[in-house]
Amino acid sequence: MSEPPRLVQIRQRVLKHNDEVARALRARFRSAGVYVVSLVSSPGSGKTEFLEKTLGRLREAGYRVAALVGDLATDNDAKRLARSSVPVRQIVTGTVCHLEAEMVVNALEEERWDLEALDYLFVENVGNLVCPSSYDLGEELRLVLFSVTEGEDKPRKYPTIFNTADLAIITKMDIAEAVGFDSTAAYQSIQAVRPGMEIIEISAKSGAGMNPWIERLLARRSASVLQDSSSSTTGS
């Protein structure tokens, strides 16, 4: 049997290395007790505004939060998120259309954040629904966001990212009626790709849906802590 093309071999090695780094990152995060959430979406989905409001609400509730933000060239998103009064670090990827686990490691080392002093760490990926699907970042929860302006069939067009995500967030619900968004069709598209996937409708601008989202996030972190505690007890 002939060997796969060289480009395929290189990609396989890159992904294998990323997976190894991501596994070590995940173990590091769990040991520190920080719950890591990554966000993936197309450009213009409202991902940064959603994250800004999430960071603010968690901080006001007394949680210790920080964020890493990926972008090709600018630090605009990091400056915006800094308004939430939480630690934010920009990761400029240059020509790379996604974040990789090693980029997260490098950013954490440069910032020298005490992970044990954090409850939540958010990682906002580069705006792209293709490349990020293949790269594990050591996160505990991966969100895929798409807005009401992107079309109800978005999940069918980009099935891989929906299959690798844990929860779908439909954004900009405040303008859903104005743009003729069909929630039923959108839900059907998501379920066709990922049966049983949890979906939350959000308007970061109006605040609608933010409370259910925060409640769900807190519940998932609590469940994760219990699971880790149970695993530690079993292994001891």
User: In the sheet that 120-124 helps form, which strands lie side by side, from edge to edge?
Assistant: 88-92, 65-71, 120-124, 35-41, 141-147, 167-171, 198-201
How many residues in total does the chain contain? 236
Q: What is the mean pLDDT of residues 30-56?
A: 95
The beta-carbon contacts of 19-26 under 8 Å, at least 24 apart in sequence, are 19/101, 19/136, 21/100, 21/101, 21/102, 21/105, 21/138, 22/101, 22/135, 22/136, 22/137, 22/138, 23/136, 23/138, 24/138, 25/101, 25/104, 25/105, 25/137, 25/138, 26/138, 26/139, 26/140
Domain boundaries, the chain: 6-230
For residue 19, the one-letter residue type is D
34/128: higher pLDDT: 34
Superfamily the domain 6-230 falls into: P-loop containing nucleotide triphosphate hydrolases (3.40.50.300)
Q: What is the mean pLDDT of residues 200-221?
A: 96
Instruction: Classify residue 80 as exposed, middle or buried by CB count within 10 Å of its CB (0-12, 13-18, 19+).
Output: middle
Q: Which residues contact 27 (CB under 8 A, 6 or more apart)?
A: none
| pLDDT per residue as tens digits for the range 123-177 | 999 988 998 888 999 999 999 999 999 999 999 999 999 999 999 999 999 999 9
At 96, is the pLDDT very low, low, confident or very high (cuts 50, 70, 90)? confident
% of residues, the chain, pLDDT over 70: 91
At 6, is the pLDDT very low, low, confident or very high (cuts 50, 70, 90)? low
Q: Determine the pLDDT at residue 32.
A: 96
Q: Determine the pLDDT at residue 94.
A: 81
Encoding tokens for residue 213? 């989202």
DSSP letters for 35-76 = EEEEEEE-TTSSHHHHHHHHHHHHHHTT--EEEEEEESS--H
pTM for the complete prediction? 0.90
